[in-house]
Amino acid sequence: MTSIITNNSAMAALQTLRGISSNLQGTQAAVSSGLRISKASDNAAYWSIATSMKSDNGAIGAVSDALGLGAAKVDTASTAVTSSIDIVGQIKNKLATAMEGSVDKKAVQEEIGQLQQQLQSVAQSASFNGENWVMAKNGGSASVVSSFIRGTNGTVSVSTTSYKFDSSSVGNVLFGATASGTLDTASGILGTKNTTVGASVFSLDISKMTSGQISSALNMVQTALNSMTSMGSKLGSISSRIDLQTSFASSLSDSIQSGVGKLVDANMEQESSKLSALQTQQQLAVQSLSIANSSTQSILSLFRG
């Protein structure tokens, strides 16, 4: 039965067209944005996971920046230690030269004095972003960010690597520092006085020393070199850990980004094929609706004379 009031065929065709248009709109959005899931209504579970992981990835990026800052601090200190080891090595050579009785000790001391002033200059210059790891107050500490951690219960935290300062003769700073942060030339590996010699590496004066006293000074300098080498090793281990963590953070960030992509990214080949198919379906649906609407026109011919 054909009715001019209710056109069931047109209603069915219109319903089909609406469904196709809705699917086409979603596919066009996926093609233009590159995302299969761009809002919570697309897939609440995957959208929630992807949003959290994107946030974590941003935090890992911030940690990577902080690791770079920490690496710069440690590298600055390591450079100062390496330079100081070379300078103290030269002092050691001067002392070995002064063991010869005919050598002018005052002349040698002039050279040693210049090297001692250079040690002070190196220590005071080894500051990065207001922090100096080779000239520090005893008992103080410094730290660098080492990693970002998300717990299984959803909590997040940032871990740090600490470096505690020891200004003794076998500690891990070249010189100590006063409460106001100025150089303390009476503490640290280079400033702590050796009771046998009666002086430190920094305050050593061989002008009036005997060969026996110079020999004791030579042993003191060697002990200082051993302590500085140990200090350099500690800094090196921290630097190595920072490098490893930086590499891991970069790999972790890539893995998270890839994982998020698998959850929410659109398959562009699939969406492209789907888009073409839906566009064809839409054209056919429009044509079907047109045919269904035209059927009522045939009824008019029944009333023509």
Q: What is the pLDDT of residue 106?
A: 93
Domain encompassing residue 193? 51-264
For 95, the 3-state DSSP assignment is: helix
Residue 304 banded pLDDT, cuts 50, 70, 90: low
Here the CATH number for the domain that contains residue 247 is 1.20.1330.10
| Residues 123 and 212 both lie in one domain | yes
Structural domain includes residue 27: no
Phi, psi of 223 (to 5 degrees): -60, -40
Beta strands in 120-210 (DSSP E): 127-128, 131-132, 141-150, 156-164, 176-177, 183-184
Instruction: Quote the pTM value.
Output: 0.73
Contact of 43 with 26, CB cutoff 8 Å: no
Structural domain includes residue 284: yes
Q: DSSP state, 193?
A: P
| Residues 195 and 232 both lie in one domain | yes
| Residues 163 and 285 both lie in one domain | no
| Residues 69 and 141 both lie in one domain | yes
Q: DSSP state, 5?
A: S
| Residues 136 and 72 both lie in one domain | yes
Q: What is the mean pLDDT of the chain?
A: 86
Number of H helices, E strands in the chain: 6, 6
Per-residue pLDDT of 75-124, as tens digits, reads 999 999 999 999 999 999 999 999 887 889 999 999 999 999 999 999 99
Per-residue pLDDT of 182-205, as tens digits, reads 999 999 999 999 999 999 999 999
236 CB neighbour count, 10 Å cutoff = 14
Structural domain includes residue 108: yes
Contact of 200 with 191, CB cutoff 8 Å: yes
| Residues 150 and 271 both lie in one domain | no
| Residues 290 and 154 both lie in one domain | no
The C-alpha atoms of residue 57 and residue 46 are separated, in whole angstroms, by 16
Structural domain includes residue 23: no
Query: What is the residue type of 248?
Result: F
Number of folded domains in the chain? 2
Per-residue pLDDT of 256-295, as tens digits, reads 888 888 887 777 777 777 777 878 887 877 877 777 777 6
| Residues 222 and 285 both lie in one domain | no
Structural domain includes residue 293: yes
Query: What is the residue type of 152?
Result: T
